[in-house]
Amino acid sequence: KRLAPTGEIGEPLVGSMRQDVAAAASTASPPQSNEPKVVGSGSGFFVTSAGHVLTNSHVVEKCGLIRVRSSDGSTNPVRVLTRIERDDLALLKGEIKPGATAAFRSGPPIRQGDAVLIYGFPLAGALASAGNLTTGNVVAMAGIRDDTRLIQISAPIQPGNSGGPVVDSSGNVIAIVVGKLDALKVAGDMPQNVNFAIKSSVAINLLETRGIGYEVAVSERERSAADIAERVRAFTVKVECLR
């Protein structure tokens, strides 16, 4: 049983988007100058008005430089404040004043069957550069081998979605995309659309350990998918890895 591109669950969540980096590197033209080239990308989102960004650790692993690109196309350099390979989370910081920041869900916990939406930047260069929204449900409250750091979701994800926000029907963050099960035989069958995300409680623990404030909001009002897309697009960014 493997996650693509995240690696085994139950072990440290290491290396997820390496697949993206490798794919980008293998198709890129040979460098013609000493200028850094984009060799891979993932997604992330602003958690403070001071420019803190959450993403996956594997998205920024082995990057020489990192920058974030907003839906409007603007780019800003960021640096890694901390990487937690076991939980596959990274906290970035740039001299940025984001137009919006994410709020983590407060109040009643999510339940199996709850609706979820994902925003991110999958398959860079092939799909819409302004970002993509997918929808689904919470399938299970744990990951492979009952890993309680994760939830399983039915919203489709692709390379490039890693690190992006998973939000509830109010637009509040409940998890961070991390990967999907490889198309390998499991119990004699081929798994399809088996996707996982890191629970927001794991990310909140990281922020609190670093002494970084964050916003929470009670999920009371159900919004349309279009309204949520507009809201989430404002705080979600493409994270570009350069070497």
- To the query of whether residue 88 is one of the catalytic residues in this protein, the response is yes
Alpha-carbon distance of 121 to 113, in angstroms, equals: 25
Residue pair 106/121 in contact (Cβ under 8 Å)? The answer is: no
- To the query of whether residue 52 is one of the catalytic residues in this protein, the response is no
What is the mean pLDDT of each successive set of 10 residues along the chain, which is 243 residues long? 41 40 41 81 98 98 96 93 97 96 95 98 89 97 96 96 98 97 68 92 97 96 96 98 96
Alpha-carbon distance of 56 to 186, in angstroms, equals: 26
Catalytic residue among 41, 43, 71, 162: 162
Catalytic residue among 88, 147, 168, 219: 88
Under 8 Å CB-to-CB from 30, ≥6 apart: which residues?
none
What pLDDT is stored for residue 129 in this prediction?
87
Under 8 Å CB-to-CB from 166, ≥6 apart: which residues?
116, 117, 118, 151, 153, 155, 173, 174, 175, 176, 177, 197
What pLDDT is stored for residue 125 in this prediction?
86
What pLDDT is stored for residue 185 in this prediction?
61
Residue pair 236/71 in contact (Cβ under 8 Å)? The answer is: yes
Catalytic residue among 58, 87, 200, 219: 58
- To the query of whether residue 58 is one of the catalytic residues in this protein, the response is yes
